[in-house]
Amino acid sequence: MRKQFAVVGLGRFGGSVCKELYKMGHDVLAIDSNEDKVNEFTNFSTHTVIANATEESTLQSLGIRNFDYVIVAIGENIQSSILCTLLLKEMGVRNVWVKAQNDYHHKVLEKIGADRIVHPEKDMGIRIAQHLVSEKIIDYIELSDEYSIVELLATEKVANRSLIQLDIRAKYGCTILAFKRKEQVIVSPLPDDLIHLNDILIVIGHKNDLKRFEEEGL
């Protein structure tokens, strides 16, 4: 079933979220108080509205509580972001995802019931740094302070060997979730599946174990 999304704030972050959701075939209502911004999105959303998302009556007239997800991507103006989130939660929107500017903003959003708080610049900074320190790390997703998922490039050391031969889980405590091989994704690989040179291995585990595998196992 197609989900209904609304994106508030069409800056770089909100704009990318809006375009991507629309590209994936979802219904997206694009909201911004700036008319020029809104006009930019007429071809990249289902509906566009010029509106101030900190006005309760405006949000009500948009029927915002019927949306499955509302993404609050108001950038600089922390006060507006907080007020908008508060109104959306009070109005009963089930899933409100909000972009936070800093840790204080995050704390307030948590208190007023934001369902998910994202820090795109911070997260992307971490991912880029991980990639910079090791050519083998293609991508990195932090699951918690302790656990991550990483995409690692298969080197000569593991090429043409099977998972059972390498015994990665026993030796390093990490689990290979999938291989990416050109356009193909091999999900839940079997113990006998061979790794090819330059496959991308998607691995989950404790950060220390992942580091050990990346440094010693690859």
Which residues bind to ligand ADP, rule: CB under 6 A?
8-14, 31-34, 37, 52-54, 73-77, 80
d(CA 113, CA 111): 5
Comparison of 54 and 148: residue with beta carbon closer to ligand ADP: 54
The least CB distance from residue 143 to ligand ADP, in Å, is 24
Strand order in the sheet with 116-118: 47-50, 27-32, 4-8, 69-72, 95-99, 116-118
d(CA 9, CA 138): 30
Question: Is residue 85 exposed (0-12), middle (13-18) or buried (19+ Cβ within 10 Å)?
Answer: buried
- Could you tell me which of 12, 13, 37, 15 has the C-alpha nearest to residue 28? 15
The least CB distance from residue 36 to ligand ADP, in Å, is 9
Comparison of 79 and 198: residue with beta carbon closer to ligand ADP: 79
Comparison of 34 and 208: residue with beta carbon closer to ligand ADP: 34
Comparison of 116 and 161: residue with beta carbon closer to ligand ADP: 116
- Which residues, in sequence order, are CB contacts of 39 under 8 Å at separation 6+? 48
The least CB distance from residue 87 to ligand ADP, in Å, is 11
